[in-house]
Amino acid sequence: MNRCGWLVVVSGLLFTCANEVPTELALQEAPLRGGDWKTKAWKAWHGHHHKHWHRCRNNPGPEAPSCAWSNYDEGLSGAAATLVFFDPRPRGVVYAASGGNVFRSTDSGETWSPRGSTYSNITRLDVDGADSSGLVAATGSGIKVSNDSGASWTTISLSGVQIEALQIPIVQPQRVYAVLNSGPLLLSTDAGERWQMAGTNYPRGNTFGLSADPRSALDVVAALQFFVPDRAAYNGLGAIFRSSDGGESWKNVYDPQTKLNALVRCPANPDVLLAATRAGIARSRDNGLTWTLSPIATATEGSVGVVVNPQDCDDYYALQANEGPRHTRDGGASFSEPLVQDLQLLTAGWFPGSLAIDPEDPTHLILCTHSGFYTSYDSGEHWSPLLVTVNMNATEIAVSQHRPTEVWLTTWGQGVWRRASENAAWERVGIDRLPREYVASIGLDHASRRAVIGGNPPLFTADGESFSETGTPGVATSSTFHPSDPDVVYMTTQVNGVLRSEDGGRSWQEVNANLPRWATNASIGIDARMLAINHARPDQLFLTTSGQGIYRSDDAAASWTQVLPSTEHATCLVLIPQPSAAQPRVYACVSGVTMSKDGGATWTPMNAGLPALTIFQLVHDPDTDRLYASTGRGIFVLEPDEDEWRALDPDCESLTRGMALMKEGGQKYLVVGAEHGVRRLAL
């Protein structure tokens, strides 16, 4: 019988049932010999200087380029941060992490600025000893450190491996515990130079929390969700395991028979641990040996989190998606009603929010939800919004020809926003009128104020003010209004293919004709992404799909013909008229950009100059015949009669998604949804 009982492949690396991890997983950049994970050893990795990316929204230093982009986000507030915490070293410093991006505030959360990116999802962010500029992150591609407050990062161990949990005991910092995604617990006793499996019976599952006793590096507690091998999935149930011999052996110390979502240890008394479960908050007063549950009656099944006052272990908050935080001051004997005064709550989703407690003033809280950042100075009794934008996830920006100064913004998690006129600020469309936070698209009628909002299910508006459900299930990935018939509207959906309305959007019917059904990300269906109408021949439609290529219809969706192979993942699409030709130029986002001049009979890749093949959106400027592409590496433009793309201010913008052209005061602008808000460039 093998000692560990594991056979796991992670990031292409084989973990065998030998206790020693293969040498490929040893530290690849260089060893931290005799290093202290909390002090100067990490600094050795930053002896060479990196050329950092500067963005205009930073406080640029003398090396920052001159950026032509300008802010266009007055009034905008949103957050997609999954982690917020106060740095206990310098007063007033707060960090937030969203995906791989790191943000910092130096005034207790009132204002924020982007610092840098690990370019991989951050699962844990922590401080590095007494040096106020040191940070360490567990990421989807290894363990990374920064010595400049998150502006630049270096991978120091487990490069390319997805880390779910990381613990570095204060009393013995060269001993490091790391949990891989859905995989084993690894142990290093030399600050990450070499790794081995920790323990003979660590359960197979997803580790939501890992805590080492700051007084003894051998006492470790873990919260897991179990994996069921015969179903190749998680069963939804979790338990808490404890080791007193440095991970050599593990014992199940608490089985709540429900999901576990978080595990924290109280800084004021390391014997106190708290675990968030779907039933309430479990508490241990004896370093994880025994547990008691404090039930919480909740109206939803959303995820639960827990945050403890660093000065008082009886004072903590339970976080519940869709309800708001609940507060206890008596160790869980009683909880307050949800603290929602002046707090805009989510109506859908599972993210419970991220709460941070000021270590200098525990009545001062910062709460991050998908609706934005909020602050409280009375332990959550009252909240005030913080007008900051941290990694707002823009999905689409739209400008109507009918009202050319009115700009719409849809987001994934922060709702729908509108800028009504040249001098107006952004205003969010209220949840009471448009109850959607996760919105994939918006389609505007260029002849009126009608619009289709791609929520789940989609919404329709005839006046831009009141919204009603379309009656169609699923998510609308795009919507297109007929150029001359006001009664005809098309909608593409993630599962139900193409729908058409012949009464101006009041009712909808599927028009999938001979489109095949296939296994989509959501279910078995037709994952349609974008539809474009040939204005010269309105019965001719082009359709992109996720997984089945591109289709064309010459009879207003009565039938469809595939014009690009079914193996292709096609997303965005734009048609450009060719006055002297029977067919328009068709540009589609397929492994970069591909183009057809003959109705889809033949296609030509158009990727010269593009650094990446992930394209989010294409926009055509009819006045200049320029084509713009938004990508994960910025905005690129293709000039008329050219076959190579060039970057627009590559040092100023990186990840951009939504994109549109607008005119204001006689000036044309390109408007984009960037990592940190909305930006625009005078053309």
**Burial (CB count <10 Å: 0-12, 13-18, 19+), residue 288:** buried
Separation of alpha carbons 384 and 109, rounded Å: 12
Q: Tell me the HSE value of 318 on the side-chain side, using a 13 A CA sphere.
A: 35
Higher per-residue confidence, 544 vs 111 = 544
Q: Yes or no: say if 673 and 682 are a contact pair by the CB < 8 Å rule.
A: no
Average pLDDT in the 34-51 region? 33
pTM of the model: 0.72
Write down the pLDDT at residue 179.
87
Query: 611: pLDDT confidence band, cut at 50, 70 and 90?
Result: confident
Positions of E strands within 400-488? 407-411, 416-419, 427-428, 442-444, 451-453, 459-461, 468-469, 476-481
Pair of tokens at residue 232: 């190749």
Coil, helix or strand for 355?
strand
Q: Which two tokens stand for residue 540?
A: 């001719």
Higher pLDDT, 627 or 614: 627
How crowded is residue 478: how many other Cβ atoms within 10 Å of its Cβ? 25
Residue 188 CB-density burial (10 A; 0-12 exposed, 13-18 middle, 19+ buried): buried
**Cα→Cα distances 188→29, 212, 622, Å:** 16, 14, 60
Residue 47 has pLDDT above 90, yes or no: no
* Mean pLDDT for the stretch of residues 482-496: 94
Place 429 in a pLDDT band, splitting at 50, 70 and 90.
very high
The predicted structure's pLDDT at residue 42: 36
**Least confident segment among 16-20, 259-263, 554-558:** 16-20
Whole-number pLDDT of residue 51: 27
Burial of 440 (0-12, 13-18, 19+ CB in 10 A): buried
Task: Report which DSSP code applies to 517.
Answer: P
- Average pLDDT of the chain is 83
Q: With bands split at pLDDT 50, 70 and 90, how would you rate the model's confidence at 18?
A: very low
Q: Which residue has the tokens 């401080």?
A: 127
pLDDT tens for 201-226 read 888 788 888 999 999 999 999 998 87
Average pLDDT over residues 218-235: 73
What letters, b where the CB count within 10 A reaches 16 and e where it falls short, cover 544-573? Answer: bbbbbbbbbbeebbeebebbbeeebebbbb
Report the pLDDT value the prediction gives residue 60, as an integer from 0 to 100. 33
Query: Residue 41: pLDDT above 60?
Result: no
pLDDT-derived band at 100, boundaries 50, 70, 90: confident
Q: What average pLDDT does the segment 156-164 reach?
A: 89
Write out pLDDT tens, residues 657-680.
Answer: 789 999 888 899 999 987 667 888
pLDDT surpasses 60 at 57: no
pLDDT of residue 282: 95
Split at pLDDT 50, 70, 90, the class of 653 is low
Distance, in Å, from the CA atom of 587 to the CA atom of 568, rounded to the nearest integer, reads 14
Cα gap 324→305, rounded to integer Å: 11
Nearest Cα to Cα of residue 361 among 396, 324, 309, 326: 309
pLDDT in tens, 371-401: 778 999 999 999 998 877 777 788 999 998 8
Q: What is the pLDDT of residues 257-280, one digit of tens each?
A: 888 888 999 999 999 999 998 888
Q: What is the pLDDT of residue 677?
A: 74
Judging by beta carbons within 10 Å of its beta carbon (0-12, 13-18, 19+), is residue 349 exposed, middle or buried?
Answer: middle
Of the pLDDT bands very low, low, confident and very high (cuts 50, 70, 90), residue 462 is very high
Query: Could you tell me the pLDDT band of residue 1, with boundaries at 50, 70 and 90?
Result: very low
Average the pLDDT over 462-485 and give the result. Answer: 92
Determine the pLDDT at residue 510. 95
pLDDT above 80 for 363: yes
Question: How far is Cα 145 from Cα 35, in angstroms, rounded to an integer?
Answer: 13
**Max mean pLDDT range (229-233, 308-312, 640-644):** 308-312
Instruction: Say what percent of the chain tops pLDDT 90.
Output: 49
**Would you state the pLDDT for residue 228?**
64
Q: Residue 24, Cβ neighbours under 10 Å: how many? A: 11
- Confidence band of 232 (pLDDT split at 50, 70, 90): very low
- pLDDT tens string 341-360: 988 765 555 667 789 999 99
Q: Where is average pLDDT lowest: 78-87, 509-518, 610-619?
A: 78-87
User: Residue 567's pLDDT is what?
Assistant: 74
Q: How far apart are CA 51 and CA 277, in angstroms?
A: 44
Per the structure block, which two tokens stand in for 533? 């109408």
Q: Spell out the alpha helix ranges (H) of 107-203.
A: none
User: ∠592-594-597 over CA atoms, to 5°?
Assistant: 165
Candidate ranges 167-171, 420-424, 584-588; pick with highest mean pLDDT: 584-588
In this predicted structure, what is the pLDDT of residue 24?
Answer: 30
Instruction: Dig out the tokens for 650 from the structure.
Output: 């590559």
Q: Tell me the backbone φ, ψ of residue 304, rounded to 5 degrees.
A: -120, 140
Q: With a cut of 70, say whether residue 16 has pLDDT above it.
A: no
Q: How many whole angstroms separate alpha carbon 77 and alpha carbon 411?
A: 11
Residues 6+ apart with CB under 8 A from 20: 196, 197
Task: Please tell me the least confidently modeled range out of 106-110, 399-403, 507-511.
Answer: 399-403
> pLDDT band at residue 50, thresholds of 50, 70 and 90?
very low
How high is the pLDDT of residue 344?
72
331-342: per-residue pLDDT in tens? 999 999 999 898
Residue 415's pLDDT is 87
Pick 405 or 18 by higher pLDDT.
405
Q: Which of 158-162, 273-277, 294-298 has the highest mean predicted lDDT (pLDDT)?
A: 273-277
Q: Which residue has the higher pLDDT, 651 or 85?
A: 85
Kindly tell me if the per-residue pLDDT of 522 is higher than 60: yes
> For 191-204, what is each residue's pLDDT tens digit?
888 998 887 788 87
Nearest in space to 534 (alpha carbons), one of 576, 498, 499: 576
**Of 14-18, 42-46, 110-114, 535-539, where does the model show the most confidence?**
535-539
Question: Which long-range contacts link 512-516 to residues 24+ away (Cβ below 8 Å)?
Answer: 512/560, 513/553, 513/557, 513/558, 513/559, 513/560, 514/559, 514/560, 515/548, 515/551, 515/560, 516/548, 516/566
**Average pLDDT of the segment spanning 51-64:** 33
Buried b / exposed e over 98-125, threshold 16 CB at 10 Å, is: bbbbbbbbbebbeebebbbbbebbbbbb
122 pLDDT higher than 70? yes
Number of H helices, E strands in the chain: 0, 61
Please check the confidence at residue 33 and state whether its pLDDT lies above 90: no
What Rg value do the Cα atoms of the chain yield, rounded? 27
Residue 523: its pLDDT value, please? Answer: 78
Q: Which of 53-62, 97-106, 294-303, 582-591 has the lowest mean pLDDT?
A: 53-62
